[in-house]
Chain A
Amino acid sequence: AQSVAQPEDQVNVAEGNPLTVKCTYSVSGNPYLFWYVQYPNRGLQFLLKYITGDNLVKGSYGFEAEFNKSQTSFHLKKPSALVSDSALYFCAVRDQNDYGQNFVFGPGTRLSVLP
Chain B
Amino acid sequence: DAGVIQSPRHEVTEMGQEVTLRCKPISGHNSLFWYRQTMMRGLELLIYFNNNVPIDDSGMPEDRFSAKMPNASFSTLKIQPSEPRDSAVYFCASSPGTNEQFFGPGTRLTVL
Instruction: Give A residues with C-beta under 8 Å from B.
Output: 32, 34, 36, 41-46, 49, 51, 90, 94, 100-105, 107-108
Contact = CB atoms under 8 A, between A and B. Distances in A.
B102 A46 contact: yes
A108 B106 contact: no
9 closest cross-chain pairs (CB), A and B: A43-B103, A44-B103, A46-B100, A105-B43, A107-B42, A43-B105, A43-B104, A43-B106, A100-B55
B79 interface: no
B15 to A, nearest CB: 25
A46 B26 CA distance: 15
B99 A32 contact: yes
Q: Is the interface of B mostly helix, strand, loop or mixed?
A: strand
A107 B44 CA distance: 10
Interface of B: 4, 31, 33, 42-43, 45, 48, 50, 55-56, 91, 93, 95, 99-106
Given A43-B91, A49-B100, A101-B95, 13 more contacts: A34-B99, A43-B105, A46-B100, A90-B43, A100-B48, A100-B50, A100-B55, A100-B56, A101-B55, A102-B45, A104-B45, A105-B43, A107-B42
A90 B37 CA distance: 12
B100 A44 contact: no
A99 to B, nearest CB: 10
Contacts of A36: 103
Contacts of A101: 31, 33, 48, 50, 55, 95, 99
Contacts of B95: 101
22 contacts: A32-B99, A36-B103, A43-B91, A43-B103, A43-B104, A44-B91, A44-B93, A46-B101, A49-B99, A49-B100, A94-B99, A100-B48, A100-B50, A100-B55, A101-B50, A101-B95, A101-B99, A102-B56, A104-B45, A105-B43, A107-B42, A108-B42
